[in-house]
Amino acid sequence: MSHNIFVTRLTMKALLLAAVVSLIHGSYASLVIKGPTEPVLEGDTVTLECLYTDSDLNISQVHFEVYSKYMHGWRPVMERYWCFYSLKIQQLADTLVLSIPHAGRYYEGPYRCVSNDENVTEPDNSSQPLSFKVHYMGELSLSREGYTGYLGTPHELKVRLGDDVVVKCSASSSEEPSYFWYKEGSDWVLPSSSLKLSKLNAMDEGQYTCSARHPSVESLSKRRTISITVLPEDAHWYETSDGRLMLMISAVAVALVVFILSMIVFLCRRAKETKTSKGPIDDRSQKKPIYKASSESLPSTCGDNQPLV
């Protein structure tokens, strides 16, 4: 009999302890953060919320934090209003709302909600981290192999018969895009970012379009077209795109040299004119005699009328 009473009391204590632990955990571990459930595109408005799901704790003692990859730590999120870098924090009845009017790749987080209540300690004083991916795709860039990207690629390439052409297509994107090359008026498709045409002939002339598609967001896609013209094998060098590029670079180099020489001549003439305009120093005070009674004389006790100089 006494044994059963002892077991019953022990069971009741265990249940009471479990209930207390559950109550504490339910009060402090109910802080959650909610964010976007759909893919976020660059420029979209993003809203994050901090709230308690099953607790009477005050939301006014909660703030947002973001993890800094550069500082390697969590830091509070502060309101700011500056162009596309605006952040707005608003406290409602039961939630704390963070609004990002213009989402960018630098706003991906992770974020978390943290309680300032002194009676709550880690890890119960913070929510689980939340991150969201900002998807974007920049404009397509075409570059010809063997040429610097700063010169760009013209909308039309003129090459001689039998030449080789390699054009690369690229775009900055949140994920590596899928690239395809199409030729206008043909079912020809090349699943690659590089267009390689060897020993061009008249049949290779035409409009070639590069298409880039985002792997996760179908609405993100870019296109750019380039025209390829095949000239006769005996065409003059300056008729090709390479020849025109050389002429352009030569013209810029000549203009730069002329400008530098003009500036040197101008500065030399200016320095010469400045030197000759000064002339010899005419110090007439060296030749003018100074008398005792004149305003230029010095005090003297001598009583003569002879000039001092």
Residues 6+ apart with CB under 8 A from 171: 137, 138, 139, 140, 141, 177, 212, 222
- HEC profile of 197-214: ECCCCHHHCEEEEEEEEC
Q: Tens digits of per-residue pLDDT, 238-262?
A: 667 666 667 777 888 889 999 999 8
pLDDT of residue 59: 85
φ, ψ for residue 241, nearest 5 deg:
-65, -35
Q: Tens digits of per-residue pLDDT, 22-81?
A: 444 444 447 899 999 888 999 899 999 999 887 667 788 899 999 988 888 999 998 877
Q: Concatenate the DSSP letters of all residues of 283-300 into one string.
A: -GGGTS---TTSTTPPP-
Evaluate whether 228 touches 205 at the Cβ level (below 8 Å). yes
Over 50: is that where the pLDDT of 14 sits? no
Higher pLDDT, 106 or 199: 199
pLDDT of residue 307: 54
pLDDT of residue 19: 43
Q: Is the pTM of this model over 0.85?
A: no
pLDDT of residue 238: 64
pLDDT of residue 293: 57
Evaluate whether 108 touches 131 at the Cβ level (below 8 Å). yes
Q: Which two tokens stand for residue 265?
A: 């001549």
Average pLDDT rounded to a whole number, residues 73-99: 85
Q: Tens digits of per-residue pLDDT, 168-216?
A: 999 999 999 999 999 998 888 999 999 999 998 989 999 999 999 999 9
Residue 73, CB half-sphere, CA atoms under 13 Å: how many?
3
CA distance 91 to 97: 6
CA distance 160 to 165: 10
pLDDT of residue 124: 73
Mean pLDDT of the chain: 79
CA distance 301 to 294: 15
> Which residue type is seen at 153?
T
